[in-house]
Amino acid sequence: MSNVTLKDIAAELGVSLATVSKALNDKPDVSERVKRMVRRIAEEKGYQPDYFASNLALSKPTNLIGYVIPSAGDLFTPGITKAVEDRIFTNGYNMLLGQSKNEFQRERQLINDFIRKRVSGLILIAAPGNENIEYFKEIIKLLPVVFIDQHMGIEANYVLTNDKEVSCQAIEHLIGLGHRRILVLGGIKGAGTTEHRLEGCRLAMKKAGLETDQLLEAQIGFQEDIAYDALTKMEREGVSYSAVLSLSNRVAYGAIRFFRDRDLAIPKDISLIGFANDSDGASIRSLPGCTIVRQPTYEYGEKAVELLYSIIESGNSGSYREMVLPSYLQIGNSTASPSPG
């Protein structure tokens, strides 16, 4: 958490301490222009008012749960969101939903706003990366918080999946078919989920006695067009591989489009494994029978609410729990032995 004070904000803007305080508390005797300036500087510097902690101690929380996701349009989140909403309602709560767009500042702003609205707890699918780690360390001291999917590298409550183990299984499957030059496509450098999956991929190569430099890693994010462009660039550079493990559905769509545009048949010319959600049939529609890693997205949401509710009921004791749910490799017809030559 930032150590920025009201005095620091006042000094930067050249206004009085009282003006900054009034602006942050939305007092009517401060202009909207000044309020916007103060809020912008406070957000940029990561200022967190102390009154959050005192208000949480003095005020009774509402029946609201804050839920922050990267994007409602992301293929990964709909199943989780449906489960979260279903379970929150069943437990007598209501949900406040915010989309961070994978922007760290926006993520903090949403959480701050939810705290002002007196939420009883938070469920977060955090933006990939480490920029908000110090912020999260302070937030989890204030109220119950559960992180889904990504381990933030701090002590907290998590609902995760066995990313390392299932990624290892996916690469072992390809190795067993005879593949040696394997491209792992997608993910974000430094993100916990990506790192765990790559650890599993490297472990599979090591267990098979293969050099890890035969495993090509392209951490290009999770978007279809970016995946297509990345493969195009590799093509120009003469990068060769016989199989692809895609770390998200959208990346898989980009890969499929790239191969089809070049009349490369799956799996005759190239093998492909995708990551798919248990509630999402899009990968099947795009490539019927695709070999995929199935992720338990609906169960993610169920367990996150179950865990959060138990913490709220027990009074947020300060002890943390990790729940690890199984993903599994579903063998389909998009993987085969590499073609000769």
What Cα–Cα distance (Å) separates residue 153 from each residue in 23, 136, 332?
Answer: 35, 11, 34
Confidence at residue 249, expressed as pLDDT on a 0 to 100 scale = 84
Higher local confidence (pLDDT), 179 or 51: 179
Q: Is the pLDDT of residue 115 over 50?
A: yes
| Residues 9-22 pLDDT 10s | 888 888 887 888 78
What Cα–Cα distance (Å) separates residue 96 from each residue in 85, 103, 168, 195?
Answer: 10, 18, 37, 30
Confidence at residue 284, expressed as pLDDT on a 0 to 100 scale = 44
Radius of gyration of the chain (CA): 23
Confidence at residue 11, expressed as pLDDT on a 0 to 100 scale = 87
Q: Angle at which helices 133-142 and 51-58 pack, to 10 degrees?
A: 20
Weakest-pLDDT range from 28-37, 115-124, 220-229: 28-37
Confidence at residue 119, expressed as pLDDT on a 0 to 100 scale = 93
Higher local confidence (pLDDT), 96 or 27: 96
Confidence at residue 261, expressed as pLDDT on a 0 to 100 scale = 97
| Residues 145-167 pLDDT 10s | 999 998 888 999 999 999 999 99
- Distance (Å, rounded) from C-alpha 239 to C-alpha 234? 5
- Distance (Å, rounded) from C-alpha 332 to C-alpha 176? 15
- The dihedrals phi and psi of 73, each to the nearest 5 degrees, come to -85, -5
Q: Is the pLDDT of residue 208 over 60?
A: yes
What is the four-CA torsion angle of 295, 211, 180, 200, rounded to 10 degrees? -10
- Distance (Å, rounded) from C-alpha 284 to C-alpha 330? 12
Find the mean pLDDT for residues 256-264. Answer: 96
How many residues comprise the chain?
341
pLDDT tier at 263, thresholds 50, 70, 90: very high
CB 256 within 8 A of CB 272: yes
What Cα–Cα distance (Å) separates residue 169 from each residue in 166, 198, 203, 245, 326?
Answer: 5, 12, 10, 11, 13
- Distance (Å, rounded) from C-alpha 294 to C-alpha 280? 10
Confidence at residue 216, expressed as pLDDT on a 0 to 100 scale = 96
Confidence at residue 59, expressed as pLDDT on a 0 to 100 scale = 55
Confidence at residue 58, expressed as pLDDT on a 0 to 100 scale = 44
Mean pLDDT in the chain?
Answer: 87
Q: Show Cβ contacts of residue 296 under 8 Å, excluding neighbours closer than 6 positions.
A: 161, 278, 325, 326, 327
Q: Is the pLDDT of residue 279 over 60?
A: no
Confidence at residue 75, expressed as pLDDT on a 0 to 100 scale = 67
Q: What is the 3-state secondary structure (H, E, C) of the chain?
A: CCCCCHHHHHHHHCCCHHHHHHHHCCCCCCCHHHHHHHHHHHHHCCCCCCHHHHHHHHCCCCCEEEEEECCCCCCCHHHHHHHHHHHHHHCCCEEEEEECCCCHHHHHHHHHHHHHCCCCEEEECCCCCCCCHHHHHHHHHHCCEEEECCCCCCCCEEEEECHHHHHHHHHHHHHHCCCCCEEEECECCCCHHHHHHHHHHHHHHHHCCCCHHHEEEECCECCHHHHHHHHHHHHHCCCCCCEEEECCHHHHHHHHHHHHHCCCCCCCCCEEEEEEECCCCHHHHHCCCCEEEEECHHHHHHHHHHHHHHHHHHCCCCCCCEEEECCEEECCCCCCCCCCC
Confidence at residue 51, expressed as pLDDT on a 0 to 100 scale = 46
Strand pairing report for 291-295 and 328-330: antiparallel
pLDDT tier at 323, thresholds 50, 70, 90: very high
- Distance (Å, rounded) from C-alpha 84 to C-alpha 123? 9
Confidence at residue 316, expressed as pLDDT on a 0 to 100 scale = 61
| Residues 210-259 pLDDT 10s | 988 889 999 998 889 999 999 999 999 999 999 999 998 889 989 999 99
Higher local confidence (pLDDT), 295 or 242: 242
pLDDT tier at 60, thresholds 50, 70, 90: low
Find the mean pLDDT for residues 123-144. Answer: 88
High-pLDDT (> 70) share of the chain, % = 89
Q: Please provide the distance, in angstroms rounded to a whole number, between the alpha carbons at the two ends of the chain.
A: 56
pLDDT tier at 124, thresholds 50, 70, 90: very high
Burial of 293 (0-12, 13-18, 19+ CB in 10 A): buried
pLDDT tier at 318, thresholds 50, 70, 90: low
